Amino acid sequence: MDLLVVDDESSLRDFLSIVFEEEGWHVEAAASLADARAAVQKHEPDMVLCDLMLPDGSGIDLLKEIKAQNASMAFIMITAHTSTQSAVEALKAGALDYIAKPFDIEELKIIVRKAVERKELEDENLHLRTALEERFTFANILGKSAKMQEIFTIIQRIARTNSTVLISGESGTGKELIARAIHYNSGRRGKFVSINCGALPETLLESELFGHERGAFTGAIREKKGLFTEADRGTIFLDEIGETSTAMQIKLLRVLQDRVVRRVGSNVETPVEVRVIAATNRDLADSIQKGTFREDLFYRINVIPIALPPLRQRREDIPLLVDSFIDKFCTTLGIARKRISADAMRLIEKYHWPGNVRELENVIERMIALETSEVLTTKSLPEQILLGGTIPDATFDLPSEGMSLEQHLESIAKIFMLKALERTGGVQTQAAELLQMSFRSFRYYAKKYELIPRDSRQEDVVEIDTEK
Ligand SMILES: Nc1ncnc2c1ncn2[C@@H]1O[C@H](COP(=O)(O)OP(=O)(O)OP(=O)(O)O)[C@@H](O)[C@H]1O
Ligand SMILES: [Mg+2]
């Protein structure tokens, strides 16, 4: 732990440095407010021991500045014994404690130790509080489909282990949600730290993950802790791990193998105790084939694979999700809970949801914003859902178990009708022409295949079965 001693008297500074180094602290010292500010920026100490009267101002000012920036930095004020007034002021401004000069060093040691204990307790309480809130979220990962139920069982079984997890799934399937659920059910005391590996260029990613020394590269004006260190005793979530360069993959492999990190520009390796959860929306097996993902790293991270199915493969979860999103957005807006029409629900259940749960969530939010009445109808559904109510998955593979040719021909007809509608911006007469059909038969099939909504002014309201 880092301690910063601020006092203009050099003998006291040296004395306190020696005493607290013996106590196991790493001590930095500053003689003025200006020096102290620089030291706080550079070292981010865990605790500051500061004299009230400094040549260039009051220690209270430093205390206020620190509290505004980093509320968890502990602060102990050293005051002249005559000024109880300032001591009170310091406590009000957020100092953990104070000691009056001249003091007994044993007494100061006790005050510092107590302050550490109190700070640890506070940090832990904060962590427990967020953990409680997040655990509640775990109950909010919805899914009654067999596939999701299976995933819940896996999470419960593996949360308390330290095994590395690889979550795969299309965008918006809930990968981050699952990662958090694992962490907050793990009983791990450290933080959950998340980073999107695809969002940063390689050099930046490296210093984010492992930290860097001051001056390690241009622009590294102060030393920096890496995310692995920040996640010590907790969990690091490496999102989009498939986007990393192979050079980066080698570095990650080393951390996973040896459980040590080295800051950029440093020779020192520090051990870390971190649970790793990685996620990808790519097929890593495919990337391995192509040579863009290292097989050795794959085996390191793929200890517990969790494959999140796309929403279109678990349509029975859709009503549940719709219901909870309606609830959520109406509550946020402080309006009465709206209902949804049976027609709108039918189209929602049929849509292929390329953006998965996130897309569904956005659609419901939009419907609630657009609809003034108490019922959400097809009117407020976005066009792609109205038109693409049924995206057939016609292929030209003959499945081993055989198939119905008639249904397949229907699928192909749907694809071309949708394409025609898309090209003509939904104008049916033109779409019919493009396909050399009469308007009447185009309209007949478009209705039959539900490519266009049934036009009913009065839509029935659906009662959602939310039993899990
Ligand atoms: N099973 C679920 N129950 C309730 N909400 C869910 C569920 N799955 C996902 N969500 C919600 O959908 C949104 C997207 O989830 P999340 O960010 O975890 O997806 P992701 O797989 O990480 O997506 P991306 O690959 O785009 O980063 C979030 O708002 C999340 O709360
Ligand atoms: Mg994500």
Which residue's CA is the closest to the ligand 1 atom numbered 23?
172
Q: Tell whether 297 and 433 lie within a shared domain.
A: no
**Percent over 70 (pLDDT), the chain:** 91
Determine, yes or no, domain membership for 27.
Answer: yes
Q: Domain check: are 318 and 304 in the same one? A: no
Instruction: Give the mean pLDDT of 433-440.
Output: 94
Please, are residues 451 and 390 in contact by the beta-carbon 8 Å criterion? yes
Mean pLDDT of the region 370-380: 88
- The reply to whether ligand 1 has any atom less than 6 angstroms from the CB of 357 is yes
Quick one: 303 and 158 in the same domain? yes
pLDDT given for residue 88 in this prediction = 85
For residue 176, the ligand closest to its alpha carbon is 1
Q: Say how many Å lie between the CA of residue 359 and the centre of ligand 1.
A: 9
Give the pLDDT of residue 118.
81
Is the beta carbon of 309 within 6 A of some atom in ligand 1?
A: no
Instruction: Judge if the beta carbon of residue 175 lies within 6 A of ligand 1.
Output: yes
What's the pLDDT at 464? 62
Average pLDDT estimate for 330-338: 91
323: Cβ below 6 Å to ligand 1? no
Q: Are residues 300 and 318 in the same domain?
A: no
Residues 285, 170 within the same domain: yes
pLDDT value, residue 140: 74
pLDDT level of residue 136 (50, 70, 90 thresholds) = very low
Q: Judge whether 154 lies within some domain.
A: yes
Least confident of 166-175, 190-199, 316-325, 342-351: 342-351
Specify the ligand 1 atom closest to the Cα of 169.
21
State yes or no: pLDDT of 28 exceeds 90.
yes
Examine the pLDDT at 65 and tell me if it is beyond 50: yes
pLDDT at 12: 92
Does residue 137 carry a pLDDT above 50? no
Which domain CATH number covers 251? 3.40.50.300
Residues 298 and 257 in one domain: yes
Residue 256, pLDDT > 90, answer yes
Residue ending a domain, among 74, 104, 121, is 121
Are residues 301 and 316 both part of a single domain? no
Q: Is the pLDDT of residue 390 over 60?
A: no
Structural domain includes residue 455:
no
For ligand 1, whether the C-beta of 142 sits within 6 Å is: yes
Residue with CA closest to ligand 1 atom 18: 174
- The band of 468, judged by pLDDT with boundaries at 50, 70 and 90, is very low
At 457 the pLDDT is: 44
Same domain, 320 and 341: yes
Q: Which ligand is closest to the CA of 177, given by its number? A: 1
**Pocket of ligand 1 contains residue 134 by CB under 6 Å:** no
- Find the angle CA(135)-CA(140)-CA(146) to the nearest 5 degrees: 115
For the cut 70, the answer to whether the pLDDT of residue 423 exceeds it is yes
**Does residue 134 form part of some domain?**
no
CA 391 – ligand 2 centroid, Å: 26
**Can you tell me which atom of ligand 1 is nearest the CA of 148?**
1
Residue 399 placed within a domain: no
Does residue 433 fall inside a structural domain? yes
- Span 338-352, average pLDDT: 89
Residues 377 and 418 in one domain: no
Ligand 1 neighbourhood includes 144 CB (under 6 angstroms): no
**Domain for residue 126, yes or no?**
no
Q: What's the pLDDT at 129?
A: 61
Last residue within a domain, chosen from 309, 331, 362: 309
Q: Is the pLDDT of residue 179 over 90?
A: yes
- Grade residue 410 by pLDDT with cuts at 50, 70 and 90: confident
User: What is the best residue among 176, 240, 325, 328 to mutate for testing ligand 1's pocket, by most ligand atoms within 8 Å of CB?
Assistant: 176
Please check whether residues 99 and 55 belong to one and the same domain. yes
CA of 357 to the centre of ligand 1 (A): 6
pLDDT for 84: 77
Q: Could you tell me the CATH number of the domain that includes residue 430?
A: 1.10.10
Residue 378 domain boundaries: 312-385
Q: Do 165 and 303 fall into the same domain? A: yes
Q: Are β-strands 2-6 and 47-51 bridged in parallel, bridged antiparallel, or unpaired? A: parallel
Q: Is 156 in the same domain as 272?
A: yes
The enclosing domain of 346 has a CATH number of: 1.10.8.60
Provide the pLDDT for residue 330: 93
Annotate the chain with three-state secondary structure: CEEEEECCCHHHHHHHHHHHHHCCCEEEEECCHHHHHHHHHHHCCCEEEEECEECCEEHHHHHHHHHHHCCCCEEEEEEECCCHHHHHHHHHCCCCEEEEECCCHHHHHHHHHHHHHHHHHHHHHHHHHHHHHHHHHHHCCCCCCHHHHHHHHHHHHHCCCCCCEEEECCCCCCHHHHHHHHHHCCCCCCCEEEEECCCCCHHHHHHHHHEECCCCCCCCCCCEECHHHHCCCCEEEEECHHHCCHHHHHHHHHHHHHCEEECECCCCEEECCCEEEEEECCCHHHHHHHCCCCHHHHHHHCCEEEECCCHHHCHHHHHHHHHHHHHHHHHHHCCCCCEEEHHHHHHHHHCCCCCHHHHHHHHHHHHHHHCCCCEECHHHCCHHHHHCCCCCCCCCCCCCCCCCHHHHHHHHHHHHHHHHHHHCCCCHHHHHHHCCCCHHHHHHHHHHCCCCCCCCCCCCECCCCCCC
pLDDT tens per residue, range 218-247: 777 788 889 999 999 999 999 999 999 999
Q: Which of 178, 325, 358 to mutate to test the pocket of ligand 1 (most atoms within 8 A of CB)?
A: 358
pLDDT bracket for residue 366 (50, 70, 90): very high
Whether 125 has a pLDDT exceeding 80, the answer reads no
User: Quick check: is 8 in a domain?
Assistant: yes
Mean pLDDT of the chain: 87
Which ligand has the minimum distance to the alpha carbon of residue 174? 1
Tell me which ligand sits closest to the C-alpha of residue 320.
1
Q: Is 212 in the pocket of ligand 1 (CB under 6 A)?
A: no
Residue 138: pLDDT band with limits 50, 70, 90: low
Residue-wise pLDDT for 259-315, tens only, equals 999 999 988 899 999 999 999 998 899 999 999 999 999 999 999 999 999 998 999
Question: What is the position in ligand 1's atom list of the atom closest to the CA of 281?
Answer: 25
The structural domain count of the chain equals 4
**Closest residue CA from atom 8 of ligand 1:** 174
